[in-house]
Chains A and B, each alone.
Chain A
Amino acid sequence: MLLTVNNMHVSYGAIKALQGISISVKGGDCIAIVGGNGAGKTTLLKIISGLLKPSEGSITFNNKNIVGMEPYNVAAEGIAHVPEGRRVFSALSVLDNLIMGSYLPSAKKDRSQSLEYMFSLFPKLEERQHQLAGTLSGGEQQMLAVARGLMLKPKLLMLDEPSSGLAPIIVEQMYEKLAEVHAQSSMTMIVVEQNVPVALSLADRGYVLENGSVMLSGNSNDLLNNPGVKEAYLGF
């Protein structure tokens, strides 16, 4: 297993956000974490990348315990977190945003190669490389955020709601690109989504979260066909 999260508990004050979540991710796998608002999806990603500290539980990445590590050390271990809501540095150019993603020594030596790859993956970003990131459209900003995460050359890419606030056609394009990355470099990925069908169609496996615990897990196809999931998240 590349990543194992075991019995994770987190509280925001008196409110329990995660109540004993366990997930595991094999190297090369793509998994989807789906569920409604407040299910604890974002919290889980923040815990893994070190932005939040758990009250209980363990995380092993690459056979190393990473619980309680500072975020910059987690990033150096090879985990890239693309936070929710297109968090690009809007006053920096597109190119500078990408370069910012590759300042860690392991990523820096391959910077020009990574840039080339990003530009072939997202030609729009090459066209607009000298534009300020804040002037991009919503979809382009999301692509930039993903590309910036990939510039780290991560072992694990974690995406928080890459579809949020985007038009359906853009969501489709976004997910095509993610599938391309996953297929070409067998990048291990965790995708957190409220958009259940699109995430499950990308992922090999999925976890359905509810109220801070894992309600269901299994192969994406099984989940898509699960009557409970259908009823709760797919609307039929």
Chain B
Amino acid sequence: MPTPFIALDKLDKRYPDHHAVKSIDLDIEAGEFIAIMGPSGCGKSTTLRLIAGLDEPTDGDLRIGGDSMRGVPAFQRNTPMVWQSLALFPFLTVAENVAFPLRMQKVGAAERRKRALEWLDRLGLAGMAERNIAQLSGGQRQRVAIARALVTEPSVLLLDEPLSALDAHLRVRMQTELSRLHRELGITFVYVTHAQSEAFALADRIVIMSEGHIQQVGRPQDVYRAPANAFVAEFMGMNNLIRGEVRGNDEGMLEVGSTLGNFRVPTLTTRPEGSRGDFVIAADRVVLAADMEGPGIAGTVLGLEFVGSTQTVFIEIEGGTEFRVQKQQHEIEALDLVPGRQVKLNWDSRHAWLLPQPGTTH
């Protein structure tokens, strides 16, 4: 196995009033696009600042290219970052902003101007070089920040919620742009975001964090289909979590009893009766039927929410549990799903995902 390009080794960060990052381990390969996700306050931004050297870890080690970064100040790391606030220098022109890192490296004036202009051109900002930052639109400023971070041709780019200030349309365009840059440059991108859509659209692997711990690391589709625990399942949004206990084992299937009824869930190992049998069923796996005599759980449509060509249907089950079901628009119309309508929910048992037991690795 090759040595990882960036290695977090039991990395830990305590503030006087807050334990932000709790002894995390993470290996990032060279050239990988990795997204760190989690709710606000989960430690994802602190992790990024630790990699950049803007915060010193309390404990553990961080290695970049095999070298320990303990005690290496931020300005000697060449780990440029695109800031959520962009942090452009307001007293410098666009070209001077982009040339700033080169100036710090004592590159000659003519050379750094040439390289700054090249990067501006590459990011579609040709002709903007002499403008003030205040004269640019949000999307243009974003591009200046990216050009400024890449001008020294680093081997890693850190991005801290870079698109959160843009409107939806621009955000999608910038995603494409970032994806293209990552492909062309072949360098490592570490991208912190709370937006699932950005992480899924861009990342090779995603890291889910909560309360300073890493909850799961994996390819987006794996984390989505096979969440490691209830937190990840619920954080991913489009999963329905059913809590239950094991009633029996039957040839690779577990019998799980819950307040909603008895279900069969695929499993690789057996579990003793009475132990936890929590499982998830993805929103796009649930089948809806109008026939109330058929099998399944009965529920009432609460409301609908558009997500592109699909809709999310919110269904309340007796006892107060809420289900989310994703359906194409034509299916919604065929079933005439309006708030208040009674439906039956069902799914293929093979599509249920049993959550690993707490304390075991899956």
Q: Do A and B come from one complex?
A: no
Chain B interface (Cβ within 8 Å of chain A)?
none
